[in-house]
């Protein structure tokens, strides 16, 4: 029960990685608010998690709205009276080459993935300062650390979020607030399962040194650590949970080659 009596907000937690984080937090004793744009699914997830008597609430929120973060925090204060943990998980993917990306698409992706996290952090951070305690965790992406075709707005948003992590960690350190982020590699969610064709799956399984996708629970484990007292001296850190993908360069054997990268006997 590493999060006993803590109050956590997880955005985009109706499904996928956010749902796994919310589930892990409930299992560790936290009271959880799910803030998601999909109100029905968020309510369904909340009642699923509350089955054993745990305190879980849900609210429809669009983190891209100017007042979305404030509404989310105000709701949490009404329901639970404090905010100890904020996980900025809500996000959308995008696959557009830079020269083909319209201003509208660019702004939408930046608005949800980066501005949304900023606004939620601002609203929760103000409450955390009053409490003298808080943990903010941003869910970033490997696309924000490495170049990749079709990742201009998404990669820029996630890279921006990593830098926001560092800035807010430094600004809020003296207030008893830790700000860190998690950088997932390819994670197999229901949405991912539906969107990734066989060739894409095989490509990722080749490129990731551990030769597999991660699962949402592996991100949730990192999110529990960063929300718990175990990480009290971890601040401004980006924790890659990616099977070694960020560290990797050339992966052997190269397609079509018999060269394994090992010395010939």
Binding residues for ligand NAP, rule: CB under 6 A, are: 11-12, 14-18, 36-38, 61-64, 89-92, 112, 116, 139, 141, 184, 186-187, 189, 191-192
Give, in order, the Cα–Cα distances in Å from 163 to each of 17, 178, 211, 248. 22, 14, 29, 22
CA–CA gap between residue 163 and residue 156 (Å, rounded): 11
Which ranges of 13-110 does DSSP label H, i.e. alpha helix?
16-27, 39-49, 68-80, 103-110
Q: Residue 92 Cβ, how far from ligand NAP at the closest point, in Å? A: 5
Q: Which is nearer to ligand NAP, 129 or 203 (CB)?
A: 203
Nearer to ligand NAP, 26 or 112 (CB): 112
Residues 6+ apart with CB under 8 A from 220: 17, 20, 21, 23, 24
Residue 233 annotated to the active site: no
Nearer to ligand NAP, 46 or 63 (CB): 63
- Does residue 253 have a cis bond before it (omega within 30 degrees)? yes
Query: C-beta of 50: minimal distance to ligand NAP in Å?
Result: 18
> Which is the catalytic residue, given 25, 75, 133, 154?
154
130 CB burial (10 A radius; 0-12, 13-18, 19+) = exposed
Query: Smallest distance from the beta carbon of 5 to ligand NAP, in angstroms?
Result: 26
User: H or E stretch including 95?
Assistant: none
Nearest residue (CB) to ligand NAP, 20 versus 26: 20
**Bridge partners, residue 85, by sequence:** 8, 135
CB of 192 to ligand NAP, least distance (A): 5
What's the min distance (Å) between Cβ of 32 and ligand NAP? 15
Closer CB to ligand NAP, 64 or 226, in the complex: 64
Judged by DSSP in three states, 169 sits in: helix
- Catalytic site positions: 154
């Amino acid at each position: 029960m590493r999060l006993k009596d803590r109050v956590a907000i997880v955005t985009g937690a109706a499904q996928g990685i956010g749902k796994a984080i919310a589930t892990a937090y409930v299992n560790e004793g936290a009271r959880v608010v799910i803030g998601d744009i999909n109100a029905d699914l968020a309510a369904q997830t909340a009642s699923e998690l509350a089955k054993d008597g745990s305190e879980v609430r849900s609210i429809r929120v669009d983190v891209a709205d100017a007042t979305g973060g404030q509404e989310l925090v105000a709701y949490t204060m009404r329901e639970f009276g404090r905010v100890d943990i904020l996980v900025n998980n809500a996000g959308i993917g995008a696959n557009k080459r830079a020269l083909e990306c319209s201003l509208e698409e660019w702004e939408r992706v930046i608005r949800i993935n980066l501005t949304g996290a900023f606004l939620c952090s601002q609203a929760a951070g103000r409450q955390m300062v009053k409490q003298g305690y808080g943990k903010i965790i941003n869910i970033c992406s490997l696309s924000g650390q490495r170049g990749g075709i079709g990742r201009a707005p998404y990669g820029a948003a996630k890279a921006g979020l990593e830098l926001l992590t560092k800035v807010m960690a430094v600004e809020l350190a003296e207030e008893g607030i830790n700000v860190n982020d998690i950088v997932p590699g390819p994670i197999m969610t229901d949405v991912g399962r539906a969107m990734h064709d066989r060739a894409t799956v095989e490509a990722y399984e080749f490129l990731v040194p551990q030769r597999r996708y991660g699962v949402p629970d592996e991100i949730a484990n990192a999110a529990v650590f960063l929300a718990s007292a175990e990480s009290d001296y971890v601040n401004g850190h980006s924790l890659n949970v990616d099977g070694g993908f960020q560290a990797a360069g050339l992966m052997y054997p190269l397609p079509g080659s018999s060269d394994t990268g090992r010395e010939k006997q």
